[in-house]
Amino acid sequence: MTKALRHPLTDYIRRGAEMTPLCAGCGSGIVAQAILRAIHRLNLDMDDLVFVSGIGCAGWIPSPYFNADTLHTMPGRSVAVATGVKLFRPGLKVVVISGDGDLVGLGGNHLLHAARRGAGLVVVCVNNGVYELTGGQTTPGLASEIPTFGEYAPPFDACDLMRAAGATYVARWTVYHALDLSLSVQKALLHPGFSFIEAVSYCRTHAGPRVGSRGPVEMMQLYRDRAVPVERVRALGLTGLRGRWAVGEFVGPRTTPCEAEEEDLPEVVLNPT
Amino acid sequence: MSEGVLKGRHSMTGEEACAEGAIAAGCQFFAGYPSAPSLGVADRLARRLPEVGGTYVQMEDAAGAISSVVGASWAGAKAMTATSGMGIGLMQEEISYAVATETPCVIVDVQREGHRGGALEDLVQSRCGPHGPHEIVVFAPASPQEMFDLTICAFSAAEKFRTPVLIAADTFVGHGREAVEMPREEEIPFVWRRIAVADEEGEEVRGFLETWVAPMPVIGRGLKAHVTASCHDAYGRRTALDAGALDRFVRALCGKIQRYRGDLTITEAEGPEEARVALVGYGSAGRVAQATARRAYEEGLPVEAFRLTTLWPFPESEVADLARRVKTILVLEDNLGQMVHYIRAAAQGGAEVVFLPPEAVGALHRPAYVLEKIQEVLS
């Protein structure tokens, strides 16, 4: 007796859109599963979710594959489009999934102000450090260390940026930390404020060969070794990590932006005499 | 100020009238970014929209404003933004996206006078600025009353044809204050987009490009909309492999506006049948054309005024008819010549097309200056 194997997330995939355009072994598959598993665990109705994506490989994670309303928007504008959706239909859970080139580069201003505005968007920034779709040019994100066309400027720490901009839930995981990533998405989906989750991923096609790793497994091992839990970074009082990445929850979930709470301030600042 | 739609006669600027027209048309969402001289629209709506249960948001830039308008429109809102010269430049990419995804929305462009970073130069840009093959609808109001009326028209056209509609006003019309007559509520056309319904299986929603203007699978209704500006098929699905799909996609986008151009074209001809000269203009130059033609007629000169209220789709056949009626078409524009090229092309040599630039860019044509030119043409 044989029974056809059925993936537990099949119902979350749009019918007729089963074939992924992503390369075999791409980290985006892990991000897709992390998001869908979080939705599954929360037992959310896909009709209450809207997925907004920009341009680039990460834009293909939800569109058209997730079995919900999907808006595949313009380069950099996904967060601004999502803001319009959320403001008019606050009852919908609006999830933005896009790459670091799209969100932090071209759309950086929209991202900053969305965090400041605090509309309840869930932004999943798939950071692999390259513009994959166009052949692997350098992006501003953290994993960006592969200079192409003379880009030698240091990368952005998008989580730091989001914290400063007023995001009330900020977390970073790599695709090696698939379960943590999924649990963070779960928290973000329940968080009424602005959530930013950086999913450090890899591009095995364009970036992998340049950092001397050949395949997805080597890339995952590399990411595992680079990740340092944020609690440890804080305990050691480190400010720079020399190419290693802090992972974990940086902010919240909390009700107000980090800078807004008085009790965070020591007495000497509150009452200088 | 009372809640709801204004009634009666009011003295207001073109921008205020535009904002009131939006509310009369049922606008529920406005996203803006401060851009003079269009500020009056946003100022008024920031106060008025919350009174009628709508949403106002100031975005971080003009591209963000039009992007959130697109998002709100897909969420089911009648949505609008307002900007001027530089902002409209920033919005071109998103206007193209709105065209390709058939997103109803209204974009008000109160163009700057003179050469301070804008001039009245957005008219060809409004047609040709967005990338990709497309047709677009642009109205040019000539008074605060028309700012009110045409804003309602713009919403109706946007909803009916699922397309962005632009209002290209100039500063004289936007800042000018005149009496505006609000029609009774039951006289205001109230057009809503057709919204798709899920079929029995609740699976695929037929929609995009299936008919000339397909019902819109508004999000948040379980319709599982798949929205993309890339070439897509009748289900909204992106398709890069089917060569026929691209042909159908492009033809449908352009075809729906071309097919219904008669419904979208507003022109105004005024003057004696025996007219030999026609003064053609739009916006405030259109009013100068009308005022001058009346004065010329009083002086016994055979002059007709012809005002373009719809700039795009370009009223080709109306201009061709005009070219058959008169010997000379004198084109008045508040710039150094934008629409004159299209007027000349449409006239097809039927009448001589002469461009009359303003004496000083940024200032309206004086009727005496135009009359002088008419005498010159007639002699």
pLDDT digits (tens, 9 = 90+) for B281-337: 999 999 999 999 999 999 999 999 999 999 999 999 999 999 999 999 999 998 889
**Is residue B110 included in any domain, yes or no?**
yes
Mean pLDDT of A254-267: 69
**Is residue B176 included in any domain, yes or no?**
yes
Closest Cα in chain B to A68: B224
Q: Which of B157, B187, B217 lies at the terminal end of a domain, its last residue?
A: B187
Say yes or no for a CB contact (<8 Å) between A15 and B204.
Answer: yes
Check residue B1 and give its pLDDT. 41
The total of other beta-carbon atoms located within 10 Å of residue A234's CB is 12
pLDDT digits (tens, 9 = 90+) for B161-201: 999 999 999 988 999 999 999 998 888 888 999 888 876 44
CATH number (domain holding residue B107): 3.40.50.970
Same domain, B28 and B141: yes
Mean pLDDT of A61-77: 93
**Is residue B194 included in any domain, yes or no?**
no
A59 has a pLDDT exceeding 80: yes
> pLDDT: is A63 or B199 the higher one?
A63
Residue B128 — pLDDT band, cuts 50, 70, 90? Answer: confident
Say yes or no for a CB contact (<8 Å) between B67 and A89.
Answer: no
Of residues B71, B203, B235, nearest to A81 (C-beta) = B71
Domain carrying residue B315:
266-378
B109 has a pLDDT exceeding 50: yes
Residue A152 — pLDDT band, cuts 50, 70, 90? Answer: low
Say yes or no for a CB contact (<8 Å) between A89 and B219.
Answer: yes
The answer to whether A117 touches B74, Cβ cutoff 8 Å, is: no
Residue A145 — pLDDT band, cuts 50, 70, 90? Answer: low
Same domain, B159 and B270: no
Residue B208 — pLDDT band, cuts 50, 70, 90? Answer: low
A54 has a pLDDT exceeding 50: yes
Whole-number Å distance between alpha carbons of B32 and B43: 10
Q: Which of B187, B212, B244 lies at the terminal end of a domain, its last residue?
A: B187
Check residue B199 and give its pLDDT. 64
Check residue B120 and give its pLDDT. 62
B115 has a pLDDT exceeding 70: no
Task: Using alpha carbons, list the distances in angstroms from residue B336 to A77, B77, B99, B142, B331.
Answer: 35, 38, 29, 19, 11
Check residue A151 and give its pLDDT. 54
Same domain, B179 and B43: yes
Residue A142 — pLDDT band, cuts 50, 70, 90? Answer: low
Check residue B2 and give its pLDDT. 47
Same domain, B37 and B172: yes
> pLDDT: is A271 or B249 the higher one?
B249
Interface of B with A (CB under 8 A): 28-29, 31, 55, 57, 59-61, 63-65, 67-77, 79, 93-94, 97, 203-204, 217, 219-230, 235-238
Of residues A47, A63, A86, nearest to B228 (C-beta) = A63
Check residue B99 and give its pLDDT. 95
Query: How many separate domains does chain B show?
Result: 2
The answer to whether B164 touches B99, Cβ cutoff 8 Å, is: yes
Check residue B200 and give its pLDDT. 47
Instruction: Reduce the DSSP state of residue A106 to 3 states and report it.
Output: helix
Average pLDDT, chain B: 90
A34 has a pLDDT exceeding 60: yes
Mean pLDDT of B40-59: 95
A272 has a pLDDT exceeding 90: no
Check residue B234 and give its pLDDT. 72
Instruction: Give the CATH H-level superfamily of domain A22-270.
Output: Thiamin diphosphate (ThDP)-binding fold, Pyr/PP domains (3.40.50.970)
Whole-number Å distance between alpha carbons of B43 and B27: 15
**Looking at this predicted complex, what is its ipTM?**
0.92
Q: What are the residue ranges of helices labelled H in A43-165?
A: 78-88, 100, 108-117, 158-165
Interface test with B, best of A86, A88, A93, A94 (most B CBs within 10 A): A88
Say yes or no for a CB contact (<8 Å) between B59 and A80.
Answer: yes
Mean pLDDT of A97-121: 94
Mean pLDDT of B129-149: 93
**Where do the DSSP E strands lie in B112-201?**
137-139, 164-170, 177-182
pTM of the model as a whole: 0.93
Dihedral-angle region of residue B28 (phi above 0 means left; psi in -120 to 50 means alpha; beta otherwise): alpha
Check residue A91 and give its pLDDT. 96
CA A55, distance to chain mean position in Å, is: 15
Cβ neighbours of B76 in A, within 8 Å = 88-89
A108 has a pLDDT exceeding 90: yes
Domain boundaries, chain A: 22-270
Q: How far is B127 from chain A (nearest CA, A)?
A: 20
Q: Which of B136, B162, B187 lies at the terminal end of a domain, its last residue?
A: B187
Cβ neighbours of B216 in A, within 8 Å = none
Cβ neighbours of A91 in B, within 8 Å = 220
Task: Using alpha carbons, list the distances in angstroms from residue A209 to A135, A212, B335.
Answer: 13, 5, 56
Check residue B174 and give its pLDDT. 92
**Is residue B276 included in any domain, yes or no?**
yes
Check residue B202 and give its pLDDT. 45
Mean pLDDT of A104-121: 94
A110 close to B (CB below 8 A): yes
pLDDT digits (tens, 9 = 90+) for B335-364: 889 999 999 999 998 999 999 999 888 888
Q: What are phi and psi of B4, to 5 degrees?
A: 80, -165
CATH number (domain holding residue B341): 3.40.50.920
Whole-number Å distance between alpha carbons of A219 and B321: 70
